[in-house]
Amino acid sequence: MSITLKQVNDIESLQAEIKKWHDAGERIAFVPTMGNLHEGHLQLVDVAKQKADRCVVSIFVNPTQFGPNEDLEQYPRTQKKDCELLATRGADLVFLPSVDVIYGDEVSSDIHVPEQLNNQLCGKNRPGHFDGVASVVAKLFNAVNPDVAVFGNKDYQQVQVIRWLVSELNLKIKVIGAPIVREDDGLAMSSRNQYLTNNERQRASRLQNILQLIAGELRKGRRDYSALSEEATLALNKTGWKVDYIEILRPNLTQPTEKTRDFIILAAANLGKPRLIDNLKCTI
């Protein structure tokens, strides 16, 4: 491993390192993660390095964003390998806090995302998830004090939540939504792809294909958004998926009208064990 990747576990040491860089006039880009890193995360590091002088990554499996029936305990913890990958990719510092360092005695969310943003798409079936994300990211922002923060656009709703958070708390952090990184067949990279069986993996790019098909229909002039989503849901369900939602919205996640020209098409669906999400922007 390169010796240039600093590893810190507590906020005091983290802030001492960051202060040295800020005092030297350097800008800090921050990539928050829950570890189990893959090429998608590493490309966030690449973006961070282009946008600032120093790249700080956090690895923290955040308990408050997992529901009672979700995979918190099983969530893969691969810290040693993650740190090796980060070192090779040229990150400057990795922050590896414990639950205690982040939350102290009270492991709960103190930030509540507004309903119109929270109660749709992934928030609908994952109550409390985005409150947990917003709360931990606020704590991490406070600890790291970055100039820039980079998130993957695969989690499109999450990026909108972070933009809301930054505006709500008047933070001077530039939020960057980085492009989705895909496998050769179009499947969006995700830590959850490793749970697909070989057979499921061969069918996994259909999620992306269906988004492309919808975009094609919008380009042909269809404006019956609900019917279009329903057709796509039926088509995907017929091939062994279990669709949570397929929605055609405006980029700010509000309902489109007849006159809308810019769309975001978003989907979440289970293929066997894993729940996969994807989205596609489309301008007509």
Using CB under 6 A as the criterion, which residues of the chain lie in contact with ligand PAF when the complex forms?
32-34, 62, 65, 133, 136-137, 155, 158
Q: Which is nearer to ligand PAF, 125 or 202 (CB)?
A: 125
Q: How far apart are CA 8 and CA 5, in angstroms?
A: 10
Shortest distance, CB of residue 218 to ligand PAF, whole angstroms?
28
Q: Which is nearer to ligand PAF, 155 or 206 (CB)?
A: 155
Shortest distance, CB of residue 27 to ligand PAF, whole angstroms?
20
**Cα–Cα distances in Å, from 249 out to 32, 135, 156, 178, 223?**
27, 26, 12, 20, 12
Q: Virtual CA dihedral for 79, 153, 42, 86, nearest 10 degrees?
A: -40
DSSP 4: T
Shortest distance, CB of residue 105 to ligand PAF, whole angstroms?
20
Q: Which is nearer to ligand PAF, 133 or 210 (CB)?
A: 133
CA–chain centroid gap for 258, Å, is 30
List of E strands, 23-125:
28-33, 54-59, 93-95
Catalytic residue (choose from 22, 38, 41, 112): 41
Q: How far apart are CA 175 and CA 163, in angstroms?
A: 7
Q: For this structure, is 41 an active site residue?
A: yes
Cβ count near 122 (within 10 Å): 20
Q: Which is nearer to ligand PAF, 163 or 222 (CB)?
A: 163
Dihedral sign, Cα of residue 84, residue 90, residue 92, residue 94: negative
Taking a C-beta distance cutoff of 8 angstroms, is the pair 230, 217 a contact? no
Which amino acids are annotated catalytic?
41
